[in-house]
Amino acid sequence: MKVLAILYKGGKAAKEEPRLLGTVENELGIRQFLESQGHEYIVSDSKDGPDSVFQKHIVDAEILITTPFHPGYLTAELFEKAKKLKVCVTAGVGSDHIDLNAAVKHGAQVLEVTGSNVVSVAEHVVLSILLLVKNFIPAHEMIERGDWQVSDVARNAFDLEGKVVGTIGAGRIGYRVLQRLVPFDCKELLYYDYAPLPEAAAKALNARRVEDLKDFVSQCDVITVNCPLHEGTKGLINADLLKHFKKGAWLVNTARGAICDKDAVAEALKSGQLRGYAGDVWNVQPAPRDHVWRTAKNPLGGGNGMVPHYSGTTLDAQERYANGTKSIIENYFAGKPQEPANIIIGVGKYETKAYGQR
Ligand code: NAD
């Protein structure tokens, strides 16, 4: 059978560092495993347009492996052509680049390596919150420039202690972010999620659920976005909702770029409605060179903590999601049931409750 993997190009780094498993060069470490069983394994980063390797081979691939870091967008239109496709495996977490309703229609399963990088992302969120609140990046840039003017950076630096922090989405990542914030003595930890946390889990963190989104954002000094991208979250953080944020709030989004309206967020940062915006996810990936999020700043010239999409692809995470991808494929070959938590779309139906209420 044909197994097609769309991964990101790792270049020199991937040749020098074999633990960069999620790259085209290192192929998730599964070539020998697949070929020894007589399967064909096509690996490429070429994913856009009708002449791409992705679109050429999707027509007769039985297993598709993709990664959120360099998403091969499997649209409803492409599903029509993918006559043999049975399994889509996301090497990582987050399968919004697959048209999930089309997967249901075509009876293709969508599986993720659930949990594989949730700690990696939660740590990155805490880092991003701190670097925004402490105004860290402008302070470091000042040092590299050769300057030393403490007041210029201290005028926009605060403590996390005593602030209200809220997460949109309190699943594996959102919950771990709140857990990691407990020792910072925040004023309150809030969450907004249609699925309430189990009572004991909420109590362990003293986390309070706010059911109305506008009410929720109006109470937070820091908001972190940790829900999947689906019909109900696309453009959720838009110009209208941003008006309800506290003036000068900090926003961290490591979930998916398209949950935030690109221009509305940039405008809010420029006007000072947001004091800072940080994250690693972009509405288009790779982000174009002139993407406004690369350079947007608050009125004092700071508040931008954007990086490329890498929080969930630390070397530790890559080992976990490469192993998890292999296990999913082994189960498929052996006709064994998949780990229930890894099933986003089972044959003909949504198995997860995290991609919207339906
Ligand atoms: P999860 O399924 O454990 O939790 C998601 C939570 O979001 C669930 O509790 C769900 O009820 C909630 N949710 C869904 N829609 C919502 C809405 N409209 N409003 C509020 N809450 C909503 O998933 P997870 O492991 O925590 O991952 C969350 C997302 O983070 C992934 O889907 C992915 O998009 C993103 N992610 C990013 C990276 C990265 O490298 N930046 C890595 C891993 C995951």
List, for residues 55-88, the tens digit of each pLDDT value: 999 999 999 999 999 999 999 999 999 999 999 9
**Whether the complex's predicted ipTM surpasses the cut of 0.95:** yes
- Per the prediction, the chain carries an average pLDDT of 98
Residue 49 to residue 51: CA distance in whole angstroms: 6
Strands 222-225 and 274-279: what pairing? Answer: unpaired
Which tens digit of pLDDT belongs to each residue from 175-189? 999 999 999 999 999
Tell me if 173 is assigned to a ligand binding site. yes
Which tens digit of pLDDT belongs to each residue from 113-149? 999 999 999 999 999 999 999 999 999 999 999 999 9
| Residue having the nearest C-alpha atom to atom 35 of ligand 1 | 255
Measure the CA dihedral 19/124/169/286, to 10°.
-60
Tell me if 172 is assigned to a ligand binding site. yes
What spacing in Å lies between the alpha carbon of 67 and ligand 1's midpoint? 16
| Percent helix / strand / coil, the chain, rounded to 5 | 40, 20, 45
Which tens digit of pLDDT belongs to each residue from 289-306? 999 999 999 999 999 999
Residue closest to 58 by CA, chosen among 37, 30, 88: 88
Pocket test for ligand 1, best of 190, 224, 226 (most atoms within 8 A of CB): 226
Strands 164-168 and 274-279: what pairing? Answer: unpaired
Which residues have CB under 6 Å of ligand 1? Answer: 92-94, 117-118, 121, 168-174, 192-195, 226-229, 232-233, 254-256, 280-281, 309, 311-312, 354, 356
Per DSSP, the residues of 35-62 read: HTTT-EEEEES--SSTTSHHHHHTTT-S
| Spatial contact of 269 and 304, defined as CB atoms under 8 Å apart | yes
Residue 334 has pLDDT above 90, yes or no: yes
pLDDT at 81: 97
Residue 342 has pLDDT above 90, yes or no: yes
What spacing in Å lies between the alpha carbon of 206 and ligand 1's midpoint? 21
Confidence of residue 358 (pLDDT cuts 50, 70, 90): confident
Pocket test for ligand 1, best of 8, 69, 93 (most atoms within 8 A of CB): 93
| Residue having the nearest C-alpha atom to atom 19 of ligand 1 | 193
Strands 343-346 and 349-350: what pairing? Answer: antiparallel
| Residue having the nearest C-alpha atom to atom 40 of ligand 1 | 312
What spacing in Å lies between the alpha carbon of 281 and ligand 1's midpoint? 13
End-to-end Cα, the chain, rounded Å: 34
| Residue having the nearest C-alpha atom to atom 36 of ligand 1 | 255
Tell me if 309 is assigned to a ligand binding site. yes
Whole-structure pTM value: 0.97
Atom of ligand 1 nearest to the CA of 279: 41
Residue 150 has pLDDT above 90, yes or no: yes
| Residue having the nearest C-alpha atom to atom 1 of ligand 1 | 171
